[in-house]
């Protein structure tokens, strides 16, 4: 997507959750996660690229010892429709015998996150908890429910706060969706 197209998309979109709501959700999630994992020494795994913005902001609020690593598995790439899962990078740190917290941007159909969780358990993680910033209310049966959810979003193409639109707009501090009449 070129800059002009990206600006046009943003102009034809509406705010679903503003920056203040996003920040409050991150704060709330940090408290919930600390209550569950604060006495352990978990491994936090950021799902790239979508989870990066959320994970970065969440980490500064998790005031307990943890290890950090990342993984990269995708069904989307730069597309807007999910395809087959592609594993780009596995975690470098061992998950064996660890409590693992997987941080991702959105739970859409749940196929990618379910595959990540199953893989980490097969590698010997003691438990795998998932936190997503957004859970899409798409009415579909998902193979898993996230353990921690920031906000829900409608069954529309959303972007911002880590979620992209054609590779752009992950950097927005709020969540947007294209206007249905646009």
Determine, yes or no, domain membership for 37.
Answer: yes
Structural tokens at position 164? 């992209």
Residue 63 sits in a domain whose CATH number is 3.40.50.2020
94 within domain boundaries: yes
Q: And the tokens for 139?
A: 């009415």
Whether 127 is in a domain gets the answer yes
Note the pLDDT of residue 180. Answer: 79
Residue-wise pLDDT tens digits, 86-105 = 678 888 899 999 999 999 99
Residue pair 130/136 in contact (Cβ under 8 Å)? The answer is: no
Segment 23-72, tens digit of pLDDT: 999 999 999 999 999 999 999 999 998 999 999 999 999 999 999 999 99
Range of the domain at 60: 3-73+87-175
Mean pLDDT in residue range 7-34: 97
Question: Has residue 182 been placed in a domain?
Answer: no
Residue 82 has pLDDT above 60, yes or no: no
Instruction: Round to whole Å and give the CA distance between 71 and 51.
Output: 10
Is position 79 within any domain?
Answer: no
Per-residue model confidence as pLDDT tens digits over 128-170: 999 999 999 999 999 999 999 999 999 999 999 999 998 899 9
In a domain, 78, yes or no: no
Task: Find the catalytic residue in 108, 135, 147, 155.
Answer: 108
Strands (E), 23-178: 43-47, 67-74, 86-89, 99-107, 127-137, 148-154, 158-159, 175-178
- Token readout for 112 is 């990618």
Distance (Å) of CA 43 to CA 6, 88, 119, 139 = 35, 19, 15, 32
Tokens of 64: 């307990």
Determine, yes or no, domain membership for 61. Answer: yes
Query: What is the structure's pLDDT at 90?
Result: 83
What is the count of structural domains for the chain? Answer: 1
Asked, for residue 180, whether it belongs to a domain, the answer is: no
Residue 108 is a catalytic residue = yes
Q: 172 versus 77: which is more confidently predicted?
A: 172
CA separation for the pair 158, 160 (Å, rounded): 7
């Amino acid at each position: 997507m070129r800059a002009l197209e990206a600006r046009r998309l943003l102009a034809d979109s509406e705010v679903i959750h503003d920056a203040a709501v996003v920040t409050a959700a991150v704060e709330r999630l940090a408290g919930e996660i600390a209550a569950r994992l604060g006495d352990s020494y978990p491994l936090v795994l950021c799902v790239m690229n979508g989870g990066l913005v959320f994970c970065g902001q969440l980490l500064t609020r998790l005031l307990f010892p943890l290890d950090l690593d990342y993984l990269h598995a995708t069904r989307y790439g730069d597309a807007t429709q999910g395809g087959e899962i592609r594993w780009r990078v596995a975690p470098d740190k061992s998950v064996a015998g660890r409590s693992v917290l997987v941080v991702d941007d959105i739970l859409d159909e749940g196929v990618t996150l379910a595959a990540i969780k199953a893989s980490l358990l097969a590698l010997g993680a003691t438990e795998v908890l998932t936190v997503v910033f957004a859970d899409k209310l798409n009415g579909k049966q998902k193979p898993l429910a996230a353990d921690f959810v920031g906000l829900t979003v409608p069954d529309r193409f959303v972007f911002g706060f880590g979620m992209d639109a054609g590779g752009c707009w992950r950097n927005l501090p709020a969540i947007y969706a294209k206007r249905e009449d646009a």
